[in-house]
């Protein structure tokens, strides 16, 4: 009998730009305040791309530590999936750039499903591994959503930020990784979250620019109703599909769209708020990067440990949604070893970098004396 295969999350990484945009910063240019934003969304600040940040460079920066943690080289990858709504170019897909920069020799494709994209990609990658088609898959969510924001519109510009995060999936014989999932879409709500211009149906021209149709427009109330009604019930079905109850989930990782939506979901599932991981106060809504960034930080903070059940929930433009129930790396010694090795190497590099910086003044003085 053929041994069933599972897709283990073997490594993870993140990248957040250095530039911080606070609520107080926004209040200087738009009619809002820190109190107004925090009360309605839970957001205090967000990260905005730096001068040298591109979608592809951010994706690579998140992918490299994920590969190192998994104990893999880029040439070991069988597939790369990059979920995004803000690629570097209309063509080529950003996945090809990521593949080239990393030095991988595998297939790569870009997946677009709005803020749900990375969870979609995680489910797709899992099926490739479970079927035996591929072994090692890099799944990235990378977003520079700030380029599509109208900073005169307080209903949207206060919500979003830029970031990237990635995981590496590898096969396992243990029941781990994605245990169940549901992907959904309701195109009747497309106009609730849309960039109406600059696409093929309404190409970029002066009218589009004058009407500011090249920026995100959102009906926040419609999105809230959709999330509260559709997404919470989808999550319950996904938990049922895994043979679990909501009480069995150790941590919920929701799309970081709005803290108030998360609170409504917790009430629907009758779960304590502390079981829902939030980092929205630091990053805002990073769209496709939202869920993987939260997952990575939950792992870094020790909120998840080996064997824990985690539910990931995403929703966004489409309108679309995706829910996943997964188990964190069961019984894989190599995973723990690679994680330890990665942590030691990063710590060693920080020490070396610090020593080099400390020696820089002496080196400069030596060079000057040598020239004399």
Helix axis angle for 259-269 and 34-41, nearest 10°, is: 20
pLDDT reported for residue 232: 85
For residue 153, what are the contacts with CB-CB under 8 A and spacing of at least 6? 30, 212, 215
pLDDT reported for residue 329: 80
In residues, how long is the chain?
A: 372
Q: Exactly one of 55, 255, 258, 279 is catalytic; name it.
A: 255
pLDDT reported for residue 360: 40
Indicate whether 167 pLDDT > 90. Answer: yes
Indicate whether 39 pLDDT > 50. Answer: yes
Give the whole-angstrom CA distance, residue 124 versus residue 113: 12
Q: Whose CA is closest to 137, among 165, 170, 112, 105?
A: 170
189 upstream amide cis, omega within 30 of 0: no
Indicate whether 333 pLDDT > 80. Answer: no
Section 43-69 average pLDDT: 98
Indicate whether 53 pLDDT > 60. Answer: yes
Tally of CA atoms within 13 A in the half-sphere of 183 that contains its CB: 13
**What digits encode the pLDDT tens for the residues 287-317?**
999 999 999 999 999 999 999 999 999 999 9
For residue 204, what are the contacts with CB-CB under 8 A and spacing of at least 6? 197, 198, 214
Give the whole-angstrom CA distance, residue 94 versus residue 144: 12
**What digits encode the pLDDT tens for the residues 94-151?**
999 999 999 999 999 999 999 999 999 999 999 999 999 999 999 999 999 999 999 9
Section 320-343 average pLDDT: 65
115 assigned to active site: yes
147 upstream amide cis, omega within 30 of 0: no
Measured CA to CA in angstroms, residue 19 lies from 136, 145, 157, 296, 353 at distances of 33, 14, 15, 20, 22
Indicate whether 240 pLDDT > 90. Answer: yes
Section 30-48 average pLDDT: 95
pLDDT reported for residue 77: 99
Indicate whether 67 pLDDT > 80. Answer: yes
Section 216-232 average pLDDT: 88
pLDDT reported for residue 342: 47
Q: Exactly one of 23, 55, 279, 285 is catalytic; name it.
A: 285
Q: Domain 6-331 - what CATH class?
A: alpha beta
Burial of residue 364 (CB within 10 Å: 0-12, 13-18, 19+) is exposed
255 assigned to active site: yes
The torsion angle over the Cα atoms of residues 312, 258, 24 and 56, rounded to 10 degrees, is 40
Q: Exactly one of 115, 136, 258, 279 is catalytic; name it.
A: 115
* R_g over Cα of the chain: 21
pLDDT reported for residue 214: 86
At 174, the pLDDT band (50, 70, 90 cuts) reads confident
What is the average pLDDT score of the chain? 89
Measured CA to CA in angstroms, residue 199 lies from 69, 82, 205, 212, 219 at distances of 39, 20, 11, 13, 20
Tell me which of 351 and 59 has the higher pLDDT. Answer: 59
Give the whole-angstrom CA distance, residue 72 versus residue 258: 36
Section 199-226 average pLDDT: 89
pLDDT reported for residue 1: 53
Give the whole-angstrom CA distance, residue 229 versus residue 47: 30
3-state secondary structure the chain: CCCCCEEEEEEEEEECCCEEEEHHHHHCCCCCCHHHHHHHHCCCEEEECCCCCCHHHHHHHHHHHHHHHHCCCHHHCCEEEEECCCCCCCCCCHHHHHHHHHCCCCEEEEECECECHHHHHHHHHHHHHHHCCCCCEEEEEEECHHHHCCCCCHHHHCCECCEEEEEEEEEECCCCEEEEEEEEECHHHHHHEECCCCCCCCCCCHHHHHCCCCCCEECHHHHHHHHHHHHHHHHHHHHHHCCCCHHHCCEEEECCCCHHHHHHHHHHHCCCHHHECCCHHHHCECHHHHHHHHHHHHHHCCCCCCCCEEEEEEEECCCEEEEEEEECCCCCHHHHHHHHHHHHHHHHHHHHHHHHHHHHHHHHHHHHHHHC
For residue 191, what are the contacts with CB-CB under 8 A and spacing of at least 6? 219
């Amino acid at each position: 009998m053929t041994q069933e295969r599972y897709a283990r999350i073997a490594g993870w990484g993140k990248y957040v730009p250095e530039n911080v945009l606070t609520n107080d910063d926004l209040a200087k240019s738009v009619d809002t305040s820190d109190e107004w934003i925090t009360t309605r969304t839970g957001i205090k600040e967000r990260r905005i791309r730096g001068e040298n940040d591109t979608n592809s460079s951010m994706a690579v920066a998140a992918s490299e530590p994920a590969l190192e943690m998994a104990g893999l080289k880029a040439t070991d990858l069988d597939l790369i999936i990059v979920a995004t709504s803000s690629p570097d170019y209309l063509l080529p897909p950003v996945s090809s750039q990521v593949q080239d920069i990393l030095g991988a020799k595998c297939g790569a494709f870009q997946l677009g499903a709005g803020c749900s994209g990375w969870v979609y990609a995680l489910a797709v990658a899992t099926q490739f591994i479970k079927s035996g088609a591929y072994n090692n898959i890099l799944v990235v969510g990378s977003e520079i959503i700030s380029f599509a924001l109208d900073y005169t519109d307080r209903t949207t510009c206060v919500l979003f930020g830029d970031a990237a995060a990635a995981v590496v999936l590898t096969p396992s014989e243990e029941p781990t990784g994605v245990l169940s999932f549901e992907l959904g879409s309701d195109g009747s709500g497309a106009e609730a979250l849309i960039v109406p211009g600059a696409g093929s149906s309404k190409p970029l021209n002066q009218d589009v620019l004058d009407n500011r149709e090249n920026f995100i427009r959102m009906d926040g109330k419609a999105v809230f109703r959709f999330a509260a009604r559709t997404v919470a019930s989808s999550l319950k079905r996904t938990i049922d599909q895994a043979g679990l109850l909501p009480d069995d989930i150790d941590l919920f990782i929701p799309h970081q769209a709005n803290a108030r939506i998360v609170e409504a979901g917790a009430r629907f599932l009758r779960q304590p708020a502390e079981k829902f991981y939030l980092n929205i106060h630091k990053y805002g809504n990073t769209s496709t990067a939202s869920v993987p960034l939260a997952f990575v930080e939950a792992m870094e903070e020790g909120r998840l440990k080996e064997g824990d059940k985690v539910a990931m929930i995403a929703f966004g433009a489409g309108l679309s949604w995706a829910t996943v129930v997964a188990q964190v790396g069961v019984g894989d010694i190599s995973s723990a070893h690679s994680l330890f090795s990665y942590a030691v190497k990063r710590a060693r590099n920080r020490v070396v970098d610090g020593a080099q910086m400390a020696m820089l003044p002496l080196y400069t003085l030596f060079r000057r004396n040598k020239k004399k």
